[in-house]
Amino acid sequence: MKSFLALPWVDRAFVPVAGTLVFLLLAAVFFQLNGYAPLQIFSQMVQGAFGNAFSTNTTLSKTIPILFCAMATALPARMGLVSVGAEGQLYFGALTGTAVVLAITAAPFWELFPAALLLALLGGALWGAIPGVLRAALGVNETIVTILMNYIAIKIVEYAVYGPWKDAANLGWPATIAFPDAAKFPSLHLGALSSNWALVLAVLLAIVLHVLVEKSRWGTGLSLLRSNPRVARMAGLSYTRHAIAVMALAGSLAGLAGWVQAANVQTHLQPDISSGYGYIGFLVAWLAGQNFLRIIPLALIMGGLLSSGDALQLFAQLPFSNTLVMQALLFISVLGVGAWRAKHRSVA
């Protein structure tokens, strides 16, 4: 048994496989206790997430912001910064991108889209850089600052869409004008599946970041800063500069999520452009152990869980809060198994 567990591929697959099994077991117990047949619910959940083109498309559209937000969390974590700020960066990126749309609404795609995307990136970067600066210059805890700044960003967006940016034609509804197609990520069709190019961008970025973080001098520098900032100084790395740059870069990733949510999903700037994707991304990043490749499938699973929640609510009359319970169970199972494994491996 021990030697089997020591095989490299078994070792690597142990936590995901055992974690999933524990999760399914816990979820089955949960449904059983609530008077549902677990197997039936599971099959409905899979149907709801990937059963047909419509549900798969829904899943994909939820996967995109989760993927960006998970990357926005994982990147600072590589240098030891715990950021919970993807939600706020998403909102602020959407806000700054929207400013471009409102300023040059009639511009053609090749002007409007890059300009809006760039501003969304910069907005997210700014929202990320502020806690980075506070951390580096004053030693203020970045976790607290990022959480608090989430509320500020959401409030600013609310102010904009209830106030100066509200489209009068909307009557009472707090939202801007509908965005022209020229502001959106171009759509992408593959058979019955449809999504947009943000999905491709997100996956590509995850792969590029994976290579950079795992193989490059830069990624090694980040690990060094996480392991021992003092020693990093002996290597010529500045904690201050890295903290600010990494937080800004992470913020810009969340800003991308903001733009795809505002432009492609809602097609307006409005108060609820994110269904907590920043926080779900945080969970995904930590479930994946800050590994950018592992983030991709986990984001897809999380997206599936969310869209199956919608489906269960509609068809099985299950309250949506079940989805939250499922998320929590998944988190507990994978982290619990991971911790158990780490403890027993170090003893072995």
- Interface with other proteins (CB under 8 A): 215-218, 220-221, 223-224, 226-228, 230-237
Q: At closest approach, how far in Å is the CB of 76 from other proteins?
A: 17
Q: At closest approach, how far in Å is the CB of 235 from other proteins?
A: 4
Reduce the DSSP state of residue 189 to 3 states and report it: strand
d(CA 293, CA 74): 11
Q: At closest approach, how far in Å is the CB of 214 from other proteins?
A: 11
Nearer to other proteins, 12 or 155 (CB): 12
Nearer to other proteins, 231 or 328 (CB): 231
Nearer to other proteins, 35 or 236 (CB): 236
Nearer to other proteins, 155 or 345 (CB): 345
Q: Which residues sit opposite 196 in a β-bridge?
A: 187
Nearer to other proteins, 2 or 217 (CB): 217
Nearer to other proteins, 197 or 226 (CB): 226
Q: At closest approach, how far in Å is the CB of 200 from other proteins?
A: 24
Token pair, residue 36, equals 């549902």
Q: At closest approach, how far in Å is the CB of 245 from other proteins?
A: 15
Nearer to other proteins, 80 or 271 (CB): 80
134: enclosing H helix or E strand: none
d(CA 184, CA 104): 14
Are 152 and 145 a contacting pair, CB within 8 Å? Answer: no
Nearest to 92 by CA among 248, 259, 219, 317: 259
Q: At closest approach, how far in Å is the CB of 238 from other proteins?
A: 10
Q: At closest approach, how far in Å is the CB of 75 from other proteins?
A: 17
Are 135 and 145 a contacting pair, CB within 8 Å? Answer: yes
Long-range pairs, 34-38, Cβ under 8 A, ≥24: 36/316, 36/318
Reduce the DSSP state of residue 256 to 3 states and report it: helix
d(CA 205, CA 15): 25
154: enclosing H helix or E strand: helix 142-162
Number of residues assigned to the chain = 348
